[in-house]
Every structure is written in C-alpha cells, then in structure tokens.
C-alpha cells in the first residue's frame, strides 16, 4: 500500500513551521529569510526533479521523506539501524528511491518512495501543493522481523503457526518455528537487464504470478556489471515448496521455464539460461 504526504504552498503556516524547525536553515542557507523560495517553476525534467518543481523544493521534500521513513524503520527494527537509499523508477513518483536496511548482516529492500508526480497531485485538486509517497508490505516486514520464510503462512489457519504469535506482551521477542516437513526445490535464473527503468520488483511480481503458492521465496542472489559493455546482469534464486506434499523437479522445471519465457517477453530481459 502506498501512502502520501503533501507539503503546502510556501505561504502556509505548515511550511513556516518547517522552516522554524531548522530544515530551511540546513537546506537553503544561501536563501535569506525564505523570500525567494518557490515550489514551482517552468523548467526541464532531469534525473533529480520534475519539470514543474524547483530544485530547492525537491530537496526539502526529499529530506523530509527520508527523515520520516528512517525514523519509522528505526522504530520497527531498533536504534543503530544502518540505512541506505537507492535511486530507482516508479511510474507515479520522480525522483524515486528504494530504502534498504542492514538487518542481521544483510542488506534488505523494505520500501519504495519518491516525490509524487505533480499531475497526480493536481488531479486531486491540490495544484498549489507538492508531496511525497511511499509503499511497503507489512507482511514483508513481519517476515524479516520474525524470520518467516513463506508469505503464504499469513493466510494460514494452522494453529501451529497462529499460536506462535500469542504472547503476553506486544514487545516480546518471537522466533518463528518452521512448520513444513517437505523439502524445498531451489532454481536460479540469470539475465541481462534491458534498461535503467527495470525494477526487480517487476520480476518478483511476475514470478509469483506464474508460480503462485508454489513459490516460497524469490531473492536477488547476485548482480554483475560487464567490464566492457557495462551491461548489468541479475541472478535470482527461486525457492519452490509445497505446504502439503513433496514437489518433483519436473513440476518445478515447467514453472521455472514459464517464468524465464515471461521475463524475456514481458520485461525485455536477455536470458542467460
């Protein structure tokens, strides 16, 4: 689910409060008293901003966005959390970012966010405002926190799963105990990326659409940049597991092949399979 936040016009009390809190001083120290600060301009779209936004406004919104979301993840995962931001692409925000956290020695992507496309804000009747939006999966965060390997368990009515989360205090530590006695089948897939607009989330969605409930996990295993062509290759590991029986390699091979073919056809990748 994506959530949004809108900052009003520079004349509003809200923006005056933000400036008095110190953001204005830290970000726009070369502008005296905010007199020349503007949210909008008639410019050109670049990698850093939309054509209708001033660079100062985008820097302010981006600062606020990253500050709020960092505090959110710190509240969930604890103080001292390492955070990094990766430039990415979403159709409804620009510039756009993915937030990654270092949890138990591994960098994990936890949410996507960015400055809202102004045409979306305008269509909601807020032409004099600029805002940011983010999206995260609550199930994904719970899987990370409790080491739950299979998202399908969240729809389970199995008492062995549900009873693990009945605790006397909400802050009590929980360590998930695996349920399935059937072994997983693991297959990897590698391909060259088509362009800078590619998003690994597109592949995650494609794989789960085709594999359905037989896919337990999809993870980016390796990223490689060719030293001469500068083409980027991704290798993903797909874990297949049936909750009620043992899968055969022939079953998994048919699904895996369908994922390969769809990735080439729908995402424009160049297969290395």
The CATH code of the domain that includes 210 is: 3.30.70.380
Are 134 and 215 in a shared domain?
A: no
Q: Which whole-number Å values give the CA distances from 233 to 108, 194, 258, 272, in the listed order? A: 19, 9, 20, 9
Same domain, 234 and 138: no
Q: Examine the domain organization and report whether 32 and 117 are in the same domain.
A: yes
Residues counted in the chain: 273
Average pLDDT over residues 212-232: 91
| Domain assignment present for 263 | yes
Residue 178 lies in a domain: no
Please give the average per-residue pLDDT across 76-102, as a whole number: 93
pLDDT band at 34; cut points 50, 70, 90: low
Among 120, 146, 172, the domain boundary falls at 146
Q: Do residues 259 and 267 make contact, with C-beta atoms less than 8 angstroms apart?
A: no
State yes or no: pLDDT of 7 exceeds 80: no
Q: Is residue 99 in some structural domain? A: yes
Q: Per the structure, how many domains does the chain have?
A: 2
Q: Which residues pair with 40 in a beta bridge?
A: 53
Residue 12 belongs to what H/E stretch? none
Residues 128 and 222 in one domain: no
Q: How confident is the model at residue 86 (pLDDT cuts 50, 70, 90)?
A: very high
**Residue at a domain's end among 121, 146, 171:** 146
Which of the residue ranges 35-44, 207-216, 222-231 would you say has the lowest mean pLDDT? 35-44
Query: Which is more confident, 34 or 91?
Result: 91
Three-state DSSP class for residue 72: helix
Residue 28 has pLDDT above 80, yes or no: no
Q: Is residue 77 part of a domain?
A: yes
Residue 128 is predicted with a pLDDT of: 85
Which of 35-39, 196-200, 237-241 is the most confident on average?
237-241
What's 25's domain CATH number? 3.30.930.10
113 domain-assigned: yes
In a shared domain, residues 127 and 212: no
Residues 130 and 208 in one domain: no
Q: Express as a percent the part of the chain with pLDDT over 90.
A: 51
Q: For 5-11, what is the mean pLDDT?
A: 50
Report the pLDDT value the prediction gives residue 36, as an integer from 0 to 100.
Answer: 66
pLDDT at 259: 97
- My answer on whether 131 and 204 are in the same domain is no
The boundaries of the domain holding residue 264 are 185-271
- Residue 138 pLDDT more than 80? yes
Q: Which DSSP helix (H) or strand (E) runs through 60? A: helix 55-77
Could you write out the DSSP letters of every residue in 104-160?
TTEEEEEEEEEEEPHHHHHHTT-TT-EEEEEE--HHHHHHHHHT---GGGGG---HH
* Residues 21 and 135 occupy one common structural domain: yes
Torsion of the alpha carbons at 53, 55, 58 and 64, rounded to the nearest 10: -150
Residue 155 belongs to a domain: no
Between 68 and 32, the more confident residue is 68
- For residue 106, which phi and psi values (nearest 5 degrees)? -130, 135
Query: Do 140 and 27 share a domain, yes or no?
Result: yes
Higher pLDDT, 33 or 148: 148
Higher-scoring residue by pLDDT: 182, 272: 272
Mean of pLDDT over the chain: 84
Distance, C-alpha 228 to centroid of its chain: 30
Res. 265: pLDDT tops 90: yes
Pairwise pLDDT comparison (9 vs 137), residue with the higher score: 137
């Amino acid at each position: 689910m994506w959530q949004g936040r809108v900052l009003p016009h520079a004349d509003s009390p809200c923006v005056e409060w933000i400036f008095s809190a110190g953001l204005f001083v830290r970000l726009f120290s070369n502008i005296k008293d905010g007199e020349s600060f503007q949210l909008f301009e008639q410019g050109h779209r670049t990698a850093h901003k939309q054509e209708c936004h001033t660079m100062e406004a985008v820097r302010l919104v981006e600062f606020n966005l990253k500050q709020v979301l960092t505090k959110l993840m710190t509240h969930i995962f604890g103080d001292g959390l390492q955070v990094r931001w990766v430039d990415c692409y979403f159709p409804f925000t620009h510039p756009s970012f993915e937030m990654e956290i270092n949890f138990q020695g591994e960098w994990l992507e936890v949410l996507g966010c960015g400055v809202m496309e102004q045409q979306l804000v305008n269509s909601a009747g807020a032409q004099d405002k600029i805002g940011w939006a983010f999206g995260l999966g609550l199930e994904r965060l719970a899987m990370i926190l409790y080491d739950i390997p299979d998202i399908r368990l969240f729809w389970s009515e199995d008492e062995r799963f549900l009873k693990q989360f009945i605790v006397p205090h909400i802050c009590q530590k929980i360590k998930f105990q695996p349920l399935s006695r059937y072994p997983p089948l693991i297959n990897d897939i590698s391909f060259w990326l088509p362009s800078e607009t590619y998003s690994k989330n597109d592949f995650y969605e494609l794989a789960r659409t085709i594999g359905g409930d037989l896919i337990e996990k999809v993870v980016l295993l390796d990223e490689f940049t060719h030293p001469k062509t500068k083409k980027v290759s991704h290798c993903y590991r797909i874990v297949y597991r049936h909750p009620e029986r043992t899968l055969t390699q022939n079953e998994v091979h048919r699904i895996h092949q369908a994922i390969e073919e769809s990735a080439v056809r729908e995402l424009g990748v160049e297969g290395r399979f």
